[in-house]
């Protein structure tokens, strides 16, 4: 398994351009199945999860090419709506295929998905939504078979504003008969991006970004060209890394409006942030101040996907901070690893009590999931001495060549590949 080797203690400095958003690109690629023909999706990052999604689409009969940051996808020869189990298990986002396959082909056969081990991650809301649209759903072991001759619009209230369930229901409802409303819908920017894409394909949807989404079903959708939004979590990760290393970084091709809660927290902690159109400049010249309490919650509140990264800044801050994780129950695993680096953090149920220390020290640590891994990289950049981050494949699911991106900002970071076993 690859490792990242980081010689820490150097302030990051320079300019980088932010990659396209993984969490927007994945449902958009799945939604391409709703049309018959060639779509061109731009600003798609080269990531493991994207590769898995393209491989699944190829298994279904699509032709897919990912060159530079553009995916060209031809859906005209799709011959099956059965997603193979081994591919399904590689990532949770494979569940996005259920809505579009059902809507276009009247049937979808999928398996319980895999993904980061950060909590239970049920799919009951996805299934309830599709049932409300008239799908018959049979669960045999971990196999899920959905069928519907014709989906019918319905009023669907989500018990929790699940991002994935909102997206799956949107993708199924665009080809249903009549009107669907989703209330208590998730409001994340990736949902708005999916709406923009579907509208460009000819769908009639409004309301994304609010808690009520209304969809008037249409008979067919047409493939189109589309550009994915910038990745707000990668943007946030680099912003925190700049501040934690007391560096100065300019981030280009961002959407600052998608990061309001992070910008607010970082400014309160004393980090200088200047926003100008799609550019964010971060200066972390002084020791950060503690933040008395941060609670992760659905957008627009503080994102769970930036919880582990901001914790590194708080671990180095002056004073005691409290971080409460409310979205995923298993998402404080980085605390043990940060403690090995000298952080003073105590966990009680879903809350972390962080007493800032003046510095962290390099250590060998393990990325337990995608965002926890990103946090350990930030900690390694800020720490004194050498840090080795193991299980980098988790980080590769969401960050395009993270070591190349950070080296451009002056970090001393390299990937150590496994030594081939010749015996
Ligand atoms: C998406 C993001 C992920 C982010 C998360 C929360 C993608 C590809 N991934 O994941 O990076 O961390 O939003 O912002 O976009 N839940 C249920 N039943 C369901 C679905 C969800 O109980 O049917 C629960 C989950 O267990 C979890 C919470 O709802 O506790 C949030 O999950 P959800 O918003 O669905 O996250 P994902 O779409 O999986």
User: From CA 199, how far away is CA 111, in angstroms rounded?
Assistant: 29
pLDDT-based confidence at residue 294 (cuts at 50, 70, 90): very high
Instruction: Determine the distance separating the centroid of ligand 1 and the alpha carbon of 114, expressed in angstroms.
Output: 13
- The mean pLDDT value for 8-27 works out to 97
pLDDT at 100: 97
For the segment 213-240, the average pLDDT, to the nearest whole number, is 98
| Cβ of 30 less than 6 Å from ligand 1 | no
Q: Is 165 in the pocket of ligand 1 (CB under 6 A)?
A: yes
Look up residue 297 and give its two tokens: 């919650």
Q: What tokens does 82 get?
A: 């059965």
Looking at the CA of residue 26, tell me the nearest atom of ligand 1.
8
- 8 A C-beta contact, residue 362 and residue 300: no
Is the CB of residue 157 below 6 angstroms from any atom belonging to ligand 1?
no
Q: For residues 191 and 165, is the Cβ–Cβ distance under 8 A?
A: no
The answer for residues whose C-beta is within 8 angstroms of residue 35's C-beta and 6 or more apart is: 75, 201, 220, 221, 222, 223, 224
Least confident stretch, 121-125, 247-251, 303-307: 121-125
What one-character-per-residue DSSP string does 268-329 give?
HTT-EEEEETTEEEEE--SPPBP-S-EEB-STTSB-GGGHHHHHHHHHTSBSEEEEE--S-T
Phi-psi region of 57 (alpha: psi -120 to 50; beta: other; left: phi over 0): alpha
Q: Is the pLDDT of residue 423 over 50?
A: no
Coil, helix or strand for 212? strand
Q: What's the pLDDT at 321?
A: 98
Can you give the pLDDT at residue 420?
Answer: 65
Beta bridge partners of 208: 210
pLDDT, tens digit, 9 for 90 and up, residues 182-198: 999 999 999 999 999 99
pLDDT digits (tens, 9 = 90+) for 385-406: 999 999 999 999 999 999 999 9
Q: What are phi and psi of 117, to 5 degrees?
A: -85, 75
Q: What domains can you pick out in the chain, each with its CATH number?
A: 3-19+230-416 (3.65.10.10), 22-227 (3.65.10.10)
Measured in Å, residue 225 CA sits from the centre of ligand 1 at 27
Contact 214, 284 (CB under 8 A): no
Residues belonging to the active site: 116
The per-residue pLDDT for range 39-72, each reduced to its tens digit, is: 999 999 999 999 999 999 999 999 999 999 999 9
Task: Provide the token pair at 191.
Answer: 């949902």
Q: pLDDT-derived band of residue 421, with 50, 70 and 90 as boundaries? A: low
Token pair 């927290």: residue: 265
DSSP for 121-180, written as a single string: ---HHHHHHHHHTT-EEEEETTEEEEE-SS-B--EEE-SS--HHHHHHHHHHHTTSBSEE
Please tell me if the CB atom of residue 182 comes closer than 6 angstroms to any atom of ligand 1.
no
Give me the pLDDT at residue 111, please: 86
* pTM summary value: 0.96
Q: Is the dihedral of CA 201, 151, 167, 33 positive or negative?
A: negative
Q: How many CB atoms lie within 10 A of CB 23?
A: 25
Whether residue 330 has pLDDT greater than 90: no
* Ligand 1 centroid – CA 298 distance (Å): 9
Query: pLDDT at position 329, please?
Result: 81
Segment 325-346 shows an average pLDDT of 94
- Which residues are 387's β-sheet partners? 6
From ligand 1's centre to the CA of 26, what distance in Å?
A: 14
Q: Is 163 in the pocket of ligand 1 (CB under 6 A)?
A: yes
Distance CA 158, CA 143 (A): 23
Tell me the average pLDDT of the chain.
95
118 within 8 A of 90, measured Cβ to Cβ: no
CA nearest to 70, candidates 28, 36, 104, 101: 28
CB half-sphere exposure, 88, CA atoms < 13 A: 19
**Residue 324 CB partners (closer than 8 Å, separation 6+):** 293, 294, 295, 296, 350, 351, 352
Q: Does the CB atom of residue 232 touch ligand 1 within 6 A?
A: no
Q: Which of 27, 121, 374 to mutate to test the pocket of ligand 1 (most atoms within 8 A of CB)?
A: 121
Which of 120, 137, 196, 128 has the alpha carbon at shortest distance from 165? Answer: 128
The preferred substitution site among 26, 98, 164 for testing ligand 1, maximizing ligand atoms within 8 Å of CB, is 164
The pairing of beta strand 70-74 with beta strand 63-67: antiparallel
Looking at residue 93, its pLDDT comes to: 83
> For 96, which DSSP code?
G
Average pLDDT rounded to a whole number, residues 393-420: 92
DSSP 351-392: EEEEE--S--B--EEE--SHHHHHHHHHHHHHSBSEEEEE-T
- Of ligand 1's listed atoms, the one at least distance from the Cα of 124 is 23
Question: Is ligand 1 within 6 A of the CB of residue 327?
Answer: yes
Cα of 304 to ligand 1 centre, how many Å?
10
Q: Look up tokens 């994207």; give the residue.
A: 50
Q: Is 194's C-beta closer than 6 angstroms to any atom of ligand 1?
A: no
CA torsion 38→44→48→53, rounded to 10°?
Answer: -30
């Amino acid at each position: 398994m690859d490792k990242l080797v980081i010689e820490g203690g150097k302030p990051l400095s320079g300019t980088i351009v932010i990659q396209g958003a993984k969490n927007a690109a994945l449902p958009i690629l799945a939604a391409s199945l709703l049309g018959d023909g060639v779509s061109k999706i731009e600003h798609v990052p080269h990531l493991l999860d994207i590769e898995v999604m393209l491989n699944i689409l190829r298994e279904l009969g699509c032709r897919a090419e990912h060159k530079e940051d553009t995916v060209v996808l031809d859906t005209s020869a799709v011959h099956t709506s059965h997603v193979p189990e081994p591919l399904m298990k590689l990532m949770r986002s494979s569940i996005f295929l259920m809505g579009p396959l059902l809507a276009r082909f009247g049937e979808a056969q999928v398996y319980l998905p895999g993904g980061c081990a950060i909590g239970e991650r049920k799919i009951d809301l996805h299934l309830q939504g599709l049932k409300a649209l008239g799908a018959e759903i049979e669960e045999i072991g971990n196999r899920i078979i959905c069928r519907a001759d014709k989906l019918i619009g319905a009023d669907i209230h989500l018990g929790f504003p699940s991002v994935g369930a909102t997206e799956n229901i949107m993708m199924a409802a665009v080809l249903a008969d009549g009107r669907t409303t989703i209330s208590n819908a998730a409001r994340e920017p990736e949902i708005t991006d999916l709406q923009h894409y579907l509208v460009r394909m000819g769908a009639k949807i409004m309301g994304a970004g609010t808690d009520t989404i209304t969809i008037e079903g249409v008979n067919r959708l047409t493939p189109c060209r589309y550009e994915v939004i910038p990745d707000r979590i990668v943007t946030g990760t680099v912003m925190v890394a700049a501040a934690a290393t007391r560096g100065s970084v300019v981030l280009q091709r961002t959407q600052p409006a998608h990061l309001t809660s992070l910008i607010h927290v970082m400014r309160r902690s004393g980090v200088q942030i200047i926003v100008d159109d799609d550019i964010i400049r971060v200066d972390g010249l002084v020791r950060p101040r503690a933040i008395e309490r941060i609670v992760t919650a659905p957008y627009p509140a503080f994102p769970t996907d930036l919880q582990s990264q901001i914790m590194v800044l708080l671990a180095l801050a002056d004073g005691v901070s409290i971080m409460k994780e409310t979205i995923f129950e298993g998402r404080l695993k980085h605390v043990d690893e940060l403690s090995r680096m000298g952080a003073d953090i105590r966990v009680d149920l879903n809350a972390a009590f962080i007493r800032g220390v003046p510095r962290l020290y390099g250590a060998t640590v393990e990325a337990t999931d995608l965002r926890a891994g990103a946090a350990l990289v930030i900690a390694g950049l800020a720490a004194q001495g050498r840090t080795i981050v193991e299980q980098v494949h988790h980080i590769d699911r969401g960050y395009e060549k993270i070591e190349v991106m950070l080296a451009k900002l002056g970090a001393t970071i390299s990937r150590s590949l496994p030594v081939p076993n010749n015996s």
